[in-house]
Amino acid sequence: MSYQQELNASKNNPEDFWKEKSEALEWFKSPQKVLTQDEHGIHHWFADGEMNTAYMALDYHVENGRADQAALIYDSPVTDTKKTYTYRELRDEVAQTAGMLKDLGVGKGDRVIVYMPMIPQAAVAMLACARIGAIHSVVFGGFAAPELALRIDDAKPKVILSASCGVEIKRIIEYKPLIDNAIKIAEHTPKNVVVYQRPEATSELSQEGDLDWVKVVSKAQPVQCTPVKGSDLLYILYTSGTTGKPKGVVRENGGHAVAMKYSMDAIYDMNPGEVFWSASDVGWVVGHSYIVYAPLLQGCTTVFFEGKPIMTPDAGAFWRVVSEYKVKALFTAPTAFRAIKKEDPKGESIKQYDLSSLETLFAAGERLDPPTYEWLNEQFKLPVIDHWWQTETGWAISANMRGIEKMPVKPGSSTVPVPGFDVHILDDNGQEVAANQQGNIAIKLPLPPSCLTSVWGDLNRFKASYLETFPGFYVSGDGGYIDDDGYLFVMGRTDDVINVSGHRLSTGEMEEIIATHPAVAECAVIGRSDELKGQMPLGFAILKSGVETDQADIKRALVQLMRDKIGAVACYKDTVIVERLPKTRSGKILRKTLRQLVDGEDYVIPSTIDDPAILDEIQQAL
Ligand code: COA
Ligand code: AMP
C-alpha cells in the first residue's frame, strides 16, 4: 500500500481503518464499538474493549516465544552499569512490583506519581501501575519541589515511587529532600513514598509512610493483570501550557496501545526482535511512548540509557551504544545531535564504531534545523527523519512513514500527516490558507487513537485550550505551512511555550515566578534562539521605583528563584533590566516583537504599539 492509499483509507473509513489496526494486539475482549462520543461530545476509541497494556507489552510476548529475548537493556555510563532484562524477567519484576502496590492499597483508577531517574525501576513502576489498572504520572526528575507539589495536588496520588538520587554529569541529585519539601508545600499527602536506594546516595526514610523499595517488593506476591476498558486511563503526563499550572494530559489505554503498535510498523519500520533506542527520559512523552510502551508492545528490545550525548564520557557515547546493542533505529532530540556536532564536528568518533546495524535516525521535540540535518546526512549517509508531535498526541502527527512508503526527505519539513491526523492550516479567523502560506496548524476532529481526551480533572480547560479556538478542530499551538507537495513545515509555537534542549517550558510560568521577586514591578519572558539548545529563556524586568538593590544581585536572585521553583532544566540565565516594555495601546506586552528584536530578525512595528521608541530603548539595553 502506498502512503496515499493508507491516508485515504484512514480518512474514508476511520473506524474500519483503526479496527483493523487494533486486531494486531491481544485484547481480553475485542472492542465492539470502535469510535464513540461521550455526553460532552468528546471522542473515545475502543471504549468497550477489555485489555491490559502491561499484558500486551510483556505477558503476551512471554507466552508467545519471546520469554528469553531481551526486552530492556539498561546502559548507564554515569554509574558504569549495564544490565539486560529478558521479557520474562521484566514481566516477573513488574508483576511483583504490582503486588507491592496492591499491598499498599493501590487499585484501579488510583494515581501513583513516579519521580525517578533513568533506571529500569522507572519502567517497572510504570508497567506495574498499568498491570493493576492504576494511573501513573511520571514527573521528570529534573523538576524542583514546587513543580512536583503542583502535580501532587492535581493528581492526588496514593503513593509516590522514587529513587534515592539521580546522577547528573556534574552532581548527584538527592530526590528524597525534594519529595519531602514538595509534600510540605502540597495540600495533598500521599500515603506512602517508596524509595529505591541507589549506591550513589542513600535516602533517610524518616517520614511517616516512607518505605524501602527492595524490602517491600521482596515481601510482595506477583499479581496478574487487571482487565481495564479501552477508555480507562493509563497515565497522566503534565506538560507546560501558557500559565504556571501545568496541564495533565490524559492517555487512554486502548487508543494508546493501538497507536503505539501501528507507529512501530508504519513510522519506525521496526519488526519484533529488533533493537530500538529512544535517547530521551521517561519524564517526557517521548520516553513514555518510545522508551517504554511502543517498543515493548511491538516485541522489540528497548535501550534504556542513563547518560548524555556528550561528556558521558565523550561525543561517541551514542555511537558506542548503537554498535554495542546493534540498534536499528535511533530517536533523539535535535539538541542532542547539535551537542555531538559541536564536540565532534568532523565526526571522528562516528568512524570508531561499527554502525552497520543502524538504518534510520529519527528526531523530534523541536524542529530539526537544516544545518544539523545536513551534518547528520553527511556523516551517516542514512535517512534522517524529522517528525512532529506533542505530549497531547503521544505520537507523531506528521512523519515520513518509513514502514509504508519511504518518501523523499525535505530538510526543515516533518514530511506528511500521519494517517489518522487530518492536518489543516488555518488563519486566525479559522479559514483555510493556500499552500505555502503560514498559519495555525489544526487537526480536524476526531483526533486519532492515543490523543488526549481531557485535561485531568478539568474538561473545561481541555475544551478552552484546544477545541474552542476553531470549532471542529484541535488547535496544536504550533504554526507552519504545507507546501505544494503536501509536506508540512512546523515553524514554531504561536503561544507562550518555548522549547529548551527539547524540553517544553512555559514563559508564562517564568513570568509568574519573576513577578514574585519583591523588586520587580513588571516582567516578560521570551525564548531567544540558541545554537545548541534551540531556545533559551530571556527575561525583561522593570524594577519598582525606589529599589536600591544592586541590579546584578537581582539578576542572580532571579536565576536562583527559577532553579528553586522550576529546576535547573529551565536554563534561565539572563535578565535585562528595562525602564519600559513594548505594549499595545490596550496594554498587552508585544512578546513576539521583543523576540524578533532579540534574535535580530526583521520585524514590522505593530500598528497597535503604544510607543515605538521603546523598541530602541530595548535594543540599547540588550
Ligand atoms: N535531573 C536533574 N537535573 C537535570 C536533569 C535531571 N534529569 N536533566 C538536566 N538537568 C540539569 C542539568 O544538570 C543542568 O544543570 P546545571 O544548570 O546546574 O548545569 C540543567 O538541568 C540544564 O540541563 P540541559 O539543558 O540538559 O543542559 P546540559 O548542558 O546539561 O546538557 C545537552 C546539554 C544537549 C547534552 C542535553 O540538554 C541533552 O542531552 N539534551 C537532550 C534532551 C532530550 O533528550 N530531550 C528529550 C525530549 S525528546
Ligand atoms: P512536547 O509536548 O514536550 O513533546 O513538545 C511539543 C512541542 O515541541 C510541539 O508543539 C512543537 O512546538 C515542538 N516540536 C516537537 N517536535 C517538533 C518537530 N519535529 N518540529 C517542530 N517542532 C516540534
- Which numbered ligand comes closest to the C-alpha of 305? 1
Residue 400: CB within 6 Å of ligand 2?
no
Same topology, domains 3-307+387-476 and 497-621? Answer is: no
Whether residue 607 has pLDDT greater than 90:
no
| Buried-exposed string 396-426: b where 16+ CB fall within 10 A, e elsewhere | bbbbbbbbbeebebbeebbbbbbbbbbbbbb
CA-168 nearest atom, ligand 1? 13
Cα 538 to middle of ligand 1, angstroms: 18
What does 345-394 look like in DSSP terms, one character per residue?
TT-HHHHTS--TT--EEEE-SS---HHHHHHHHHHH-S-EEE-EE-TTTS
- Residues 398 and 414: beta-carbon distance below 8 Å: yes
Q: What is the pLDDT of residue 118?
A: 98
Residue 285: CB within 6 Å of ligand 2?
yes
Residue 567: CB within 6 Å of ligand 2?
no
- Residues 316 and 81: beta-carbon distance below 8 Å: no
Alpha-carbon gap, residue 604 to 458, rounded angstroms? 38
Cα 457 to middle of ligand 2, angstroms: 24
Q: What is the pLDDT of residue 245?
A: 86
> Per-residue pLDDT tens for 389-447?
999 999 999 999 999 999 999 999 999 999 999 999 999 999 999 999 999 999 999 99
Q: What is the pLDDT of residue 604?
A: 85
Domain residue spans of the chain: 3-307+387-476, 497-621
> Per-residue pLDDT tens for 186-198?
999 999 999 999 9
Q: What is the pLDDT of residue 356?
A: 97
The residue whose CB lies within 8 Å of the most ligand 2 atoms, and thus the one to mutate among 140, 239, 366, is 366
Distance of CA 95 to the CA centre of its chain: 26
Q: What is the pLDDT of residue 603?
A: 85
Whether residue 106 has pLDDT greater than 80:
yes
Average pLDDT on 72-99 reads 98
**Residue ID of nearest Cα to ligand 1 atom 30:** 169
Distance of CA 473 to the CA centre of its chain: 22
When the pLDDT of each residue in the chain is averaged and rounded to a whole number, the result is: 96
Residue 390: CB within 6 Å of ligand 2?
yes
Q: What is the pLDDT of residue 466?
A: 97
Q: What is the pLDDT of residue 352?
A: 97
Q: What is the pLDDT of residue 240?
A: 87
Name which CATH class applies to 497-621: alpha beta
Indicate if the alpha-carbon torsion angle 451, 454, 455, 456 is positive or negative: negative
Average pLDDT on 49-59 reads 98
Q: What is the pLDDT of residue 586?
A: 87
- Residues 316 and 329: beta-carbon distance below 8 Å: no
> Per-residue pLDDT tens for 513-568?
999 999 999 999 999 999 999 999 999 999 999 998 899 999 999 999 999 999 99
- Residues 576 and 622: beta-carbon distance below 8 Å: yes
Whether residue 242 has pLDDT greater than 80:
no
| Region at 534 (left for phi over 0; alpha for psi -120 to 50; beta for the rest) | left
Whole-number percent of the chain with pLDDT over 70: 100
Cα 201 to middle of ligand 2, angstroms: 35
Whether residue 217 has pLDDT greater than 90:
yes
Cα 164 to middle of ligand 2, angstroms: 31
Average pLDDT on 288-299 reads 98
Fold designation for 3-307+387-476: Rossmann fold (3.40.50)
